[in-house]
Amino acid sequence: MNFKMILAIAILLIASLSLFHFTYSGSSSKSLVQSSGKHLEGIDPDEVDWRSKTVEYWESVLLPEQYDVCRLGGTERPFTGEYNKFYEKGVYICSSCGLELFSSDAKFDSGTGWPSFWEPINQNAVELKRDSTFGLIRNEVVCPRCGAHLGHVFNDGPEPTGKRYCINSVCLLFDSGK
């Protein structure tokens, strides 16, 4: 094998590796876009019967970490969420069904590592459920429209309500246009 042949093989190898990398990152960013609210685009989310959606549907439209938290009641790792340190003006909607949940006007830095709000956007925006998992009595915060688990509410929040709605980032999508 002469030098030119070795060089040609090396170039071919590098080219195919870059192509693989490009294809791989391309498909991964596509799935992120699809799973971050793509299923809510071009539809009127108020007209959909979200409670009738199947496990297969949620698995196909949500990211695995969204599915784990919003549909199975898991908790994202603190300080990892997109909206933990995010303070733009707008409205946070349910990442599963698009219902308006919280306004940026009620968002504060709780230092816990999860997005925190002192009140929902209106009285009916969230539903509370008693949660006794892990031997703790807590109030679970749930989306009233699709049943998504959102987080928990505690009584150590700031004025004016004294409440701290501790919400997983992956259960939210930010809408700056509201």
| Cβ–Cβ under 8 Å, residues 148 and 52 | no
Residue closer to Fe ion (CB basis): 62 or 106: 62
| Cβ–Cβ under 8 Å, residues 131 and 147 | no
The C-alpha atoms of residue 141 and residue 148 are separated, in whole angstroms, by 9
As measured in angstroms, the least distance from the Cβ of 98 to Fe ion is 7
Residue closer to Fe ion (CB basis): 145 or 163: 145
User: What residue has token string 């439209």?
Assistant: 61
Residue closer to Fe ion (CB basis): 146 or 170: 146
As measured in angstroms, the least distance from the Cβ of 53 to Fe ion is 10
Write out the catalytic residue numbers. 166
Residues that bind Fe ion (CB under 5 A): 94, 96-97, 99, 143, 145-146, 148
Sheet holding 149-154, edge to edge: 107-108, 116-117, 164-167, 149-154, 138-142, 127-131
What are 73's two structure tokens?
Answer: 């009641």
As measured in angstroms, the least distance from the Cβ of 35 to Fe ion is 15
